[in-house]
Amino acid sequence: MKPDDRQSNAHADEKQAHAHIAATLARLVKPDAVAVPHPYLTRHLAHHAALGEALDDSHVPPGLLPWISGDGVRGLLGRSHAHRTDRAWLTAWAAIEPYVQDADLPSRCSSLHLAYTALQFPGVPRQRLPQEAAEFAGSRLCVLWSQWAPPSNVLATLSRRSLSLATAGGPGGAELLAVGTVSGGIELIDMATGASVGDRIPAHDGDVRCLFFVARSTHGGALVSGSADGTVRVWDTIRGTLLDHMTFGGRTWTAAVTGYHNDAGTLTVAAINGDGAVKLWREHSEGLHLADMSAHPLERAAFALAFAVGPGGRQLLLGAGHTLKVWDTADHRLLHEYPVGTPVRCLTDTTLPGRVATGHSDGSITLWDTDSGPQATFQGEGEPVTALAALRIDGSDLLAAAGSGSTIDLWDMNTRHRTGQLTGHTDTVTALRTISADDCDQLASTARDNTVRLWDTPAIRHAIRGTATAPAAVAAAIAPESVATPHVAVNYSTAQTQVWDTLSGTVTGSFGRDSKHASSALSWAPENEGRRLLLWAASDHSIRSWDPVRGTAAGILLKGHSQPIRALASTAACDGRRLAISGDDFTVRLWDLDRERPLQLWRHSYTVRTVSAASDGVSADWFASGSTDGTVRLWDATDHAPRHVFYCLQGIINAVAINAGTSLFPPFLASGGDDGTVRLWDLRALAPIGERLQGHTDAVEAIATWTTSADVPRSYVASSSRDGTIRVWDAATSRCVLQLATGNPVHTLSVRLSGTSVNKVVLAMAGEAGVAVLELDLEDPSPTK
């Protein structure tokens, strides 16, 4: 037998052994997630299945997934894992795995249940779901109906905003992503599993603005970091230790860094600061001041630096300011200098030999030949290009570009046309990095939404083909409790509104809008003489209505705002139906819906982001508005001045919700801000209730509150955040009783009490990933971590 044959047979035997071990261990897993599995199962079963090439739902049963503590499922599945029918539960877990690392068991079960149902049965109402989707032991929810598609390419979620990315080598040859954050730290993330590697490196005293990894000929290498504190540091990513430290001196910042090994294998680090000074540092030698770049007259602080390989394999250093300079790294000789017409925000090498690319403040991209100067200019949308990365897909040489938006543009360097867009981030993209592969490259990105994402080859091909995706759900509002059948109204980004019967999953009404831009202002009016109306904001800043019984849209109902309307809040007040409207014209208007007449005009000094209204139906009405000045104002329907101003100290207030209270709990207001916290306020004592509710890692975008109708009622608050989670809090104890991973930010929350149980509530959520209607059962909840 040939040596190759013996090696092949040994590998086959080993694979078969691991598959057999996985099959045997799988039989020991209980049918539900409530039973505690043996620690060996939680740590090693999935790994055995992966080694045996038997990683599927039968070898890793769904009941085990919420308990897994060993290798991450996402990493074991690989970066392309969403297209196998025998991995439905594994795929669902991979979609929410980065968001539930610190969650308790009910939260992990509930998040898995939502992801599985949403991914496998979109648009299917609960009555028609198979048993395993309708119920999942340990879950505190059931999905009544959904069109929700959580992303599958989130590698990791961060607690700090990131500004820079680099690939790096780690212990044992692991592929890592290094992420530089605004807090001066560097996070190392395993690209296979998404797990953190080692402790966070406290690298700098300022933002880590730039990172670059210089690989050794063997495994590992040196990670170069530059910061707003004006320092440059070199790190060993295997040990996480500092190798060297350099500084420019004076009050400046590091604008860009790069590095390379010379022919003798000596590491050279290059950096440019905010004044345009270019310095070089070599191991065991003094720093060299290479040049002072001249600033561009249109943007005095725009400088960039990059390392590239020119024709014949010559190593080049390039710096950009008012000109693009090209140096030979062997002798530091200036080879070429080319004028730059528009300020440069970023600079990168490309997959074309001797070509580099610059991104500019006017949204354009210039392709340069290092020997002859500018070759082509790609005109963008006018937004500054702040990040560039070059990659090769199926033989095509592409540039990925990002600016002040949440999308990533793909440009073909050969045809010189934009060939597609990568969408998924929900906030400004801050950094891009190519992950090189033998066949096709991949792309890593990070953004202000605090996620690190991997775009594999199929995702990039999908973007190039321009395959249409489902429209985003801008807002959703569920019909009030007085309506027997729960209906949910959904505003889509296509400026269309649909009304769904959540029990049957059918569309009961639909109407187009008079604008190309959807509004998030949507509300059901309180029922009047058996008639209910859906209220929505039109492009002329008026409020219009739609009658779901007649299936017709009415004309202008209410008007008065001069700028776009942000939010609507209606309530059955003590003396009639009321509607509060907040707009970008710094006002909140209160209307009498029964008589269709204005009641109050409440003025603010800053933009009003949100409004809420509630009534106990007997003696008290409450109206509140949240503003960009960080305050919540409480209003009285009979007065122009606020009844009270809450100084929330939460940054911009994005969400408020009022609970009319119970005999056991006072009426209260919940506020959510940019700092990721939720605060509760006693509306009678006009004082805070308890401590801040903390747990979200990004801004709170929506809040809903309710009180159960049980003999001993309990009040709850639900908050959704840009961190891709919803948290449900017990208002009396300030405990987080459920952490639900949605994978994408939820922009609006709407609730109604369920007709099936006094302890249940129906929750409608809407965001970029779509819309879902859930029934939550929080009876006897256990606290989360």
Dihedral of alpha carbons 150, 155, 161, 167, sign: negative
222-273 pLDDT, tens per residue?
999 999 999 999 998 888 889 888 888 778 899 999 999 877 778 899 999 9
Q: Percentage of residues in the chain with pLDDT exceeding 70?
A: 93
The Cα 770–Cα 6 span in angstroms is 53
pLDDT of residue 385: 95
What digits encode the pLDDT tens for the residues 40-52?
Answer: 999 999 989 988 9
pLDDT of residue 784: 40
pLDDT of 469 reads 61
The maximal CA–CA distance of the chain, rounded, in angstroms, is: 95
The total number of residues shown for the chain amounts to 785
Averaged confidence pLDDT in the chain: 87
pTM for this model (two decimals): 0.80
* pLDDT number for residue 783: 40
Tell me what pLDDT residue 149 has. 86
Q: CA 210 → CA 158, 271, 456, 538, 576, distances in Å?
A: 17, 10, 24, 44, 59
Q: Picking from 389-393, 489-493, 592-596, which range would have the lowest pLDDT averaged per residue?
A: 489-493
Paired residues of 569 in beta bridges: 580
Contacts 24+ apart (CB under 8 A), 626-632: 626/653, 626/654, 626/655, 626/656, 626/671, 627/652, 627/653, 628/652, 628/653, 629/604, 629/605, 630/673, 632/656, 632/669, 632/671, 632/681
Q: How far is CA 328 from the centre of its chain?
A: 42
Least confidently predicted of 202-216, 473-487, 569-583:
473-487
pLDDT at position 20, please?
94
Residue 516 phi, psi (nearest 5): -80, -15
Tell me: pLDDT of 554 over 70: no
User: Residue 6: which pLDDT band, with cuts at 50, 70 and 90?
Assistant: low
Instruction: Please tell me the distance from the alpha carbon of residue 2 to that of residue 5, in angstroms, as a whole number.
Output: 5
Structure confidence at residue 364 as a pLDDT band (50, 70, 90): very high
CB-based burial label for 613 (10 Å; 0-12, 13-18, 19+): buried
- Superfamily grouping for domain 160-385: YVTN repeat-like/Quinoprotein amine dehydrogenase (2.130.10.10)
User: What pLDDT digit, counting tens, does each position of 288-324 carry?
Assistant: 899 999 999 998 889 999 999 988 888 999 999 999 9
Report for 75-84, 94-103, 166-175, 203-212: range of highest mean pLDDT: 203-212
DSSP E strands: which ranges in 262-354? 267-273, 277-282, 288-292, 304-309, 315-320, 323-328, 334-339, 344-349
Residue 785: pLDDT band (50, 70, 90) is very low
The C-alpha atoms of residue 495 and residue 475 are separated, in whole angstroms, by 11
The predicted model gives 98-125 an average pLDDT of 92
Task: Quote the pLDDT of residue 79.
Answer: 46
DSSP symbol at 294: P
Per-residue pLDDT, 411? 94
Pseudo-torsion of CA 645, 650, 655, 660, nearest 10°? Answer: -50
pLDDT surpasses 50 at 590: yes
Angle at 773 between CA 131 and CA 526, to 5 degrees: 140
| pLDDT reported for residue 487 | 85
If one compares 239 and 684, the residue with the highest pLDDT of the two is: 684
Quote the pLDDT of residue 202: 92
What's CA 696's distance to the chain center, in Å?
12
In this prediction, residue 128 has a pLDDT band, given cuts at 50, 70 and 90, of: very high
- Range 473-777 classified under CATH 2.130.10.10: yes
